[in-house]
Structure 1
Amino acid sequence: MTFPEVNEQVLPCGLRVLSTHSPSASMAEVRLAIPMPSTAVDLAAALVMVDSLPGGGGRADEAENVLGPGALVQTTYDHRWLRIGASVPATKLPELIALVFGALATPRYSADTCRGATRRIIQRNIMARSHPQIIARTALGRHCYGDDFPAVLPEPSALSAVTPEDVTRLHRDHLVPDRALLVVTGGADQGRTSKALAEATSSWSADPGREAPARGPELKDAGITLAERQSTGQSDITLIARSLPRTDPRFPALSIANCVFGGYPASRLVARLREEKGLVYAVECALDELLEDELIMIHAGMDPYDAPVVLREIQSELARFAAEPPTAAEIATAREYMLGMLYQSAASQAGLAELLFSVAPLGVGLDWLLSLPQVLHDVTTDQVAEIARELYPPDRFSGVVVGERGVLGAQEFDVPQGAAR
């Protein structure tokens, strides 16, 4: 696998920078990630902050106005990271750097800014509250982590109570450069980029005395429960089990095992539930994160009346996966799919930026990414079988079946009805 040369440096402020240079590219791709505590953060204030930063909903038109046609900046927050992604003409990269890092170094949140952000977020959340994934994630968190699991969406009253002082304090406490990551790819001149970064980050710093955030609630082996969702034509099943960290030497074998089980269109889970039996609208098994935990996460959406049989089929496939681990042919097919997706990701500047951006925060170096194709080729059938037996038995998985109580309650689940929340 061939990558352009990746330059890595850590700026005096603590910001880690990965950059590549492609002289023929007319655009620059920028990805910035700043770690946030998964708990102990005022979610309402965090969302107002995100909406008010460059790329947030309150500054949606700013990119083209400041950086010219074709420029795009977007800011998001997922409880663990604040992310800013941008695609801009390469000649405008210094202006983008000044815009973004100026806002990070010098927080400015007025009462009007906060009120406008609050109105937009409340309006967006009206629709978001009924989204199946939001409902499933909320139910899953409460069931598997307990009442200390952080809210997925804040209440309107909490948003309305946010003040400029709340947002400024949150910004100063957590939007800091140490452990933050910046990825830059494309055609921007690296000399100009380095100079712009040095100037823009010179006043961006962290309080050296600030304490590390406390760890969030612990994941429990909670079994499977039923969770109510009013007036719906769809049920959702989400199951989770502890996984392995990316730094574990067995992680490549886990990646292949998970791909065979439910990670791509020809996987066992997709073939069984969707292609053969037509029981689900969608189903996948992914290696994901929730709070501080690395997880194997299975998600399926289906007609509520099919939920009991889908749950039994998932559990049956998990049991079969442990008892009948992937064959050499299944492993070879999954490996080729994974390598194809990897090569495709590196084929464009945006894809390369996303690839570097996704790997760098995981505690692994660039050598890990460069060696990944060979490492995947070296994974043996026995290594994948060991992972399947160890991590995929059905009794390792906890989770929720979400749907309308009247419909779900009339079905025959292999779950105690008294466990429903």
Structure 2
Amino acid sequence: MSSPTQAHRSAEEIGRTATGPRPLPALGAARGAAELSHVDTTLANGLRVLAVRKATVPLVELRLWIPFAGEDRLHPATAEVLAETLLTGTARRDRVEIDAELALIGGDLGAGVDPERLYLNASALADGLPTLLDVLGDVLTGATYADGEVERERDRLIERIAVSRTQPRTIAREALQKHRYGDHPATREVPEADDVAAVTPEQVRALHAASVLPRGSVLVLVGDIDPQAVPAELERALGGWASERSAVQLPPLPELAGGDVLLVPRAGAVQSQIRLSAQTVPRTDPRYPALQLANLAYGGYFSSRLVENIREDKGYTYGAHSGFEFTGDQAVVNVDADTANEVTAAALLETRYELARLGLVPPTDEEVESVRQYAIGSLVTATSSQAGLAAQLMALATTGLGVEWLQEHPKRVAAVTGAQVAEAALEFFAPGRFTGVVVGDADMLAPKLSALGGVTVRD
């Protein structure tokens, strides 16, 4: 312990010796993926089940993914109300009884929806799994959507939608979706408040009967469980959840072509949102590991080229990021940054510059090794908890993949060469492949963005 008169040393002083900076210790060897005891099967009702033993704590995590697309104009509104009221009561239990039973097993159960799926997430003490599955089966087969519950949750949802539609990120996301995919059902992520107000309890009950279906759905269980025993437990708990019809899949997205960035006016905004997007390849493509490393080098983590340029060097934004978005069997890479109006055009210029530089001046061996270690390490970290592993497996299972892909992926990343990263960068990060939107005050932004080129202004 230092004495009161001893001066405190700075971080820089601590990191140096008389002969220079203290050397960093060498990175340890990457750990191999642990073997996971698991079962991957399909029940008689058509539900795919992926059960994995991870006994780090006496808990279990459950994820249920039900394809839930719809072409009807009111489908997004009805689906949102359904998700909000799914857990408000069944023929056997009211809302309070559901909550009480879950509380007794240290559990919780929540639901949500987007244009692609209805999802339920749950956790509980491992020895409470039978109760959790019984509640889940009751909800899936006996949800009543009482008039009063639907009306109450519908009114709350209208208020939340009104707030959400004022948020810059929501506005930018909606603008990007419509620019990329037009009127495709995938663009209807936030329903219109007027549509929600028109939803009736009868419509919600009808949608549940028509679309909350097991065939084509996926259930993931991770925790202190015996995977071999799970299918029989699920057959007992979910035996009444059955239909000859399959859950409704989202239609394939159209191939995303590059083109001009669209300036979307938002009068009076003091900040702008830059959102760019380009078609890439899914996880099953042999080029994906190299593409993953190229993305990290470009903007996928804090030490990336994009962050170093427009955040650290020029101070145009507090944060910039690039990452993958997977929908069905398709994938895109997105780039986003929020900037002050006066530097928006300059930030877009530098963002495009870094896209081009990634292909023309590909990542060095040192960059490749850095992003390789980050990719492997972040995957290990993300799957170290039961909840993280469940989320990762669900993302894979919905595209037909499973535990084997997850266990083998670190080896694929480790085998990627610098030349393969360079090829992926040149092919997939060329500026001409990207399109997108800039949302902001058009009066301030249009002159500079027009001068920059490759930008059109929405009327």
Query: What TM-score does the superposition give when structure 1 sets the normalisation length?
Result: 0.91
Alignment of 1:363-382 (within 5 A): 363-382=400-419
Name the counterpart of 1:44: 77
For 1:367-412, what per-residue CA distance to the aligned partner results, in whole angstroms no more than 9, with x for missing partners?
2211111111111111111111111110110000001223223534
Name the counterpart of 1:208: 245
Name the counterpart of 2:28: none
- The percentage of aligned residue pairs carrying the same residue is 33
Aligned counterparts of 2:85 and 2:235: Cα–Cα separation in 1: 24
Aligned counterparts of 2:152 and 2:406: Cα–Cα separation in 1: 42
Alignment of 1:86-105 (within 5 A): 86-105=122-141
| Native 8 Å contact 1:3 1:346 kept in 2 | no
For 1:116-159, what per-residue CA distance to the aligned partner results, in whole angstroms no more than 9, with x for missing partners?
12111111112211222211111112222224563332222211
214-223 or 252-261, which deviates more? 214-223
| Native 8 Å contact 1:234 1:403 kept in 2 | yes
Aligned counterparts of 1:32 and 1:60: Cα–Cα separation in 2: 22
2:419 paired with 1:388: no
| Native 8 Å contact 2:67 2:248 kept in 1 | no
CA 1:415/1:122 → structure 2, altered by over 3 Å: closer, same or farther? Answer: farther
SS at the partner of 2:411? helix
Aligned counterparts of 2:410 and 2:167: Cα–Cα separation in 1: 37
Q: Displacement of 1:194 after TM fit?
A: 4.2
Alignment of 1:165-180 (within 5 A): 165-180=202-217
Q: Displacement of 1:164 after TM fit?
A: 2.2
Aligned counterparts of 2:122 and 2:246: Cα–Cα separation in 1: 32
Aligned counterparts of 1:291 and 1:377: Cα–Cα separation in 2: 27
* CA RMSD, Structure 1 to Structure 2 (Å): 2.6
| Native 8 Å contact 2:115 2:250 kept in 1 | no
| Native 8 Å contact 2:52 2:222 kept in 1 | yes
Name the counterpart of 2:5: none
Name the counterpart of 1:26: 58
For 1:43-88, what per-residue CA distance to the aligned partner results, in whole angstroms no more than 9, with x for missing partners?
00000010012399x9699445533374222212221122211121
65-74 or 170-179, which deviates more? 65-74
| Native 8 Å contact 2:393 2:402 kept in 1 | no
For 1:10-52, what per-residue CA distance to the aligned partner results, in whole angstroms no more than 9, with x for missing partners?
1111111111234562211111111222755710000001001
| Native 8 Å contact 1:247 1:363 kept in 2 | no
For 1:238-284, what per-residue CA distance to the aligned partner results, in whole angstroms no more than 9, with x for missing partners?
00110102111111111111111111111111111111111112111
353-362 or 396-405, which deviates more? 353-362
Paired amino acid for 1:9: T
Alignment of 1:12-411 (within 5 A): 12-23=44-55, 25-37=57-69, 39-40=71-72, 42-54=75-87, 62-63=98-99, 66-68=102-104, 70-148=106-184, 150-188=187-225, 193-208=230-245, 214-215=251-252, 219-289=256-326, 293-411=330-448
| Native 8 Å contact 2:317 2:340 kept in 1 | yes
Q: Displacement of 1:209 after TM fit?
A: 8.0
27-36 or 404-413, which deviates more? 404-413
CA 1:293/1:346 → structure 2, altered by over 3 Å: closer, same or farther? Answer: closer
Gaps of 5+ in 2: 1-32
153-162 or 61-70, which deviates more? 61-70
For 1:321-356, what per-residue CA distance to the aligned partner results, in whole angstroms no more than 9, with x for missing partners?
111111211111001011111111232222222222
Q: Displacement of 1:360 after TM fit?
A: 1.8
Paired amino acid for 1:420: R
Q: Displacement of 1:205 after TM fit?
A: 1.8
**When the two structures are aligned, how many residues end up with a matched partner?**
420
Aligned counterparts of 1:332 and 1:109: Cα–Cα separation in 2: 54
333-342 or 35-44, which deviates more? 35-44
Query: What TM-score does the superposition give when structure 2 sets the normalisation length?
Result: 0.84
| Native 8 Å contact 2:55 2:225 kept in 1 | yes
Paired amino acid for 2:68: M
| Native 8 Å contact 2:383 2:389 kept in 1 | yes
Aligned counterparts of 2:248 and 2:391: Cα–Cα separation in 1: 30
Paired amino acid for 2:216: R
Aligned counterparts of 2:209 and 2:215: Cα–Cα separation in 1: 13
| Native 8 Å contact 2:54 2:224 kept in 1 | yes
CA 1:281/1:358 → structure 2, altered by over 3 Å: closer, same or farther? Answer: same
Gaps of 5+ in 1: none
SS at the partner of 1:362? coil
Aligned counterparts of 1:213 and 1:376: Cα–Cα separation in 2: 30
Aligned counterparts of 2:321 and 2:55: Cα–Cα separation in 1: 39
| Native 8 Å contact 1:94 1:193 kept in 2 | no
For 1:157-201, what per-residue CA distance to the aligned partner results, in whole angstroms no more than 9, with x for missing partners?
211111223222322332211221111122245577544411222
SS at the partner of 1:241? strand
CA 1:210/1:370 → structure 2, altered by over 3 Å: closer, same or farther? Answer: closer
